[in-house]
Amino acid sequence: MEFAGKIALVTGAAQGIGQAVARALAARGAKVAALDANADRLGAVVAEIQASGHHAAPFPADITDRGAVDGAVDRIERELGPIDFLVNVAGVLRVDAIEALRDEDWERTFAVNARGVFYLCRAVAWRMVPRQSGAIVTVGSNAGRTPRMHMSIYAASKAAAAMFTKCMGLELAQHGIRCNVVSPGSTDTPMQRALWKDGSGAQAVIAGSPGAFKVGIPLQRIADPADVADAVLFLLSDQARHITMHDLCVDGGATLGA
């Protein structure tokens, strides 16, 4: 299988895109180190993967805690082996008008979406460098490249994580380590559904909202988490062996190629 024997660390693996990435990697032969702060939900996801005959192990950890991250990475390398792939998916979303946002909204969002990415990348990269190989993918957002109403903090945090990943790719290229970004648009996840007021939420997103300066989705559907997972797996694979510092947008055309 494509990723047979590879060790893949996936954060945010308990639901949504992270869960889809963990499933897809395991189905293609990788040994998945599934990391999430929600230990119960993470355990259920790992049990499902194992029941399908694939390899996964749970590593509950809070990525905003540097010590917890370093400890989890140490444990993964001891128990599973050298990490080949890191996929940063864990994220949070705070939505509100700027004048209504609180200090803690900013701090929490950046703690997870940006600082957590930094902690994970640093812990994994210094282990990859002596091995002269590895691939890292950070899941950003199309909001990190196109302004969105009431998403200022989220957009800024995702833009920060994306640029950090690209800079890391420049520094680590000499060591054979590739670093890329996948930027989804609206995707059918619990985070997305929490934004919908009723059962017509998906159709409203597809149609767009001139008042919110959103053009809708030209491909006429909300992304499935598997759509994003496929993009992540491509960038991890040997098919992308000459691609680094790239930001692949998976949004059905919602940002009009911006």
Q: Kindly list the catalytic residues.
A: 154
Amino acid at 142: N
- Quick check: 254 and 209 in contact, CB under 8 A? no
Cα dihedral across residues 85, 49, 111, 96: positive or negative: positive
> Which is nearest to 106 in space by CA: 147, 62, 157, 145?
157
What DSSP character marks residue 186?
S
Residue 168 and residue 86: Cα distance in Å, rounded?
13
Cα dihedral across residues 28, 39, 110, 69: positive or negative: negative
